[in-house]
Structure 1
């Protein structure tokens, strides 16, 4: 899927650059130009995951929580822990894991970082940032904006869709966005919630499910014309009317 949304996703007050390695394609905005450092970090963590998969091939295809070898590196352990919380395989959290691990490496060198990895975001910011939620061909298309304030960061904002993008989903949600101080957990939970949504009637059940998961801060679900919102989350529409849930 062409990432045309990136044309309007570059903050003017930060250095913005893209890095790519194999299937990973990251848009990074940071207080310093750290492109070379970011690429080294991305390669390091991808190599750790790939080398582990060579030892334990089922890790890559598991769709339910999976027991790791004792030699598993930290990034794969964090993916496994997140998947275990919500009943999905560890690779459901891989994009969030890459974003967070690379982001934390860069935060050793700068005080602001935004990493977008296929709709999964890790952000540490000194000013309010606004993130559009892409929902495809729905009445909410290009209308909903998630507001992230500095005191909320670092935070992860991860999305899942049964209709948009290449990631595996067994549901039919147009968009599920989850916020958590752990981007890895947000990614896994977004996948789990996305799998639950077959029709708008599933939205209340998905919200009840999310309320029980520790460290999830907020949730947005879009299914056709229906919208579900829960948690400590602030949304604006394009007319800048605020929708705040606490």
Structure 2
């Protein structure tokens, strides 16, 4: 957890609360890693008592059957949006490297960046509760994935859960075989709290549950949240 690359969309007055929340969350995770080095590297669920953030990560990871750091970007994004809401914000998007928490006063379109998909994205209507859309990939970005999906997306109100389950979904999609994809989606949708899931692999897409409307969207790949070197 040496870097955090975040894109924030909110009115400027809420930025201090959002950024302070991100720094605070990072500090909590870093302290946990010092006390429990296995927290950083484990690919299996762990149960570590401590701050609510740590326990939320462990709970989400247990449900998804992955390591707790699979939930770190989602929980940091969610807490940042919560901090903005506490200050009165009603429209806020925090994209933490493809793991997005948001509350929306107006419609939003989110592009899906995956090989073989051109200008495809999700259309979201306004919502007054936090929603998470989190993505893992075996072919794009720094995600650790044992599968082959170009994009494994999970939607849930619990953003930490969406993040952990996106990792699990990506691990399960080991090929573009229809039965493997179908079974992977079914497993993820069986997890309590998951609303919907979407997979893109080798220009093939599949989805299950409550997934935002797919639309043609136009986005600049330079706007994708990532570490800049």
Taking a change above 3 Å as real, the CA distance of residues 23 and 239 of structure 1, as seen in their structure-2 partners, is closer
Superimposed CA distance per residue, residues 80-125 of structure 1 (whole angstroms, 9 cap, x where no aligned partner): 0000001100000100011001110111111111000100000001
Deviations 1:139-159 (A, max 9, x none): x232x2112122374200000
Question: Is contact 1:124-1:150 (8 Å) kept?
Answer: yes
Which residue of 1 is the match for residue 42 of structure 2? 62
1:133-148 matches, cutoff 5 A: 133-136=112-115, 138=116, 140-142=117-119, 144-148=120-124
Cα pair distance change 1:239/1:56, threshold 3 Å: closer
Q: Distance in 2 between matches of 1:231 and 1:156?
A: 14
| TM-score of the superposed pair, with normalisation by structure 1 | 0.83
TM-score, structure 2 as length reference: 0.89
SS of aligned partner of 1:122:
strand
1:161–1:152 CA distance, 2 compared to 1 (3 A): farther
2:193 pairs with one of 199, 215, 219: 215
Residue 71 of structure 2 corresponds to which residue in structure 1?
93
Higher relative contact order (CA 8 A, sep 6+): 2
Cα drift, residue 194 of structure 1? 0.1
Contiguous gaps of at least 5 residues in structure 1: 1-20, 241-246
Paired with 1:152 and 1:113, the residues of 2 have a C-alpha distance of 11
Q: Per the alignment, in what secondary structure is the counterpart of residue 34 of structure 1? A: helix
Residue aligned with 1:200, SS: coil
Whole-Å separation in 2 of the counterparts to 1:44 and 1:211: 32
Gaps of 5+ in 2: 219-229
Q: 2:102 aligns with which of 120, 123, 127?
A: 123
Structure-2 change in CA distance of 1:43 and 1:152 (3 Å): closer
* Secondary structure, counterpart of 1:46 in structure 2: helix
Aligned to 1:160: 136
**Aligned residue pairs: how many?**
215
Measured after TM superposition, the shift of residue 40 of structure 1 is 1.7
SS at 1:147 equivalent: strand
| Cα distance change on mapping 1:239 and 1:132 into 2, 3 Å | closer
Partners of 2:128 and 2:155 lie apart in 1 by 10
Structure 1 segments, 4+ long, off by >3 Å, are: none
CA distance in 1: counterparts of 2:27 and 2:217, whole angstroms: 44
Q: How does 1:72-83 map to 2 (within 5 A)?
A: 72-83=50-61
Give the conservation status (yes or no) of the 8 Å contact 2:103–2:127. no
Deviation at 1:239, TM superposition (A): 7.7
What is the 5 A alignment of 1:1-80? 22-68=2-48, 70=49, 72-80=50-58
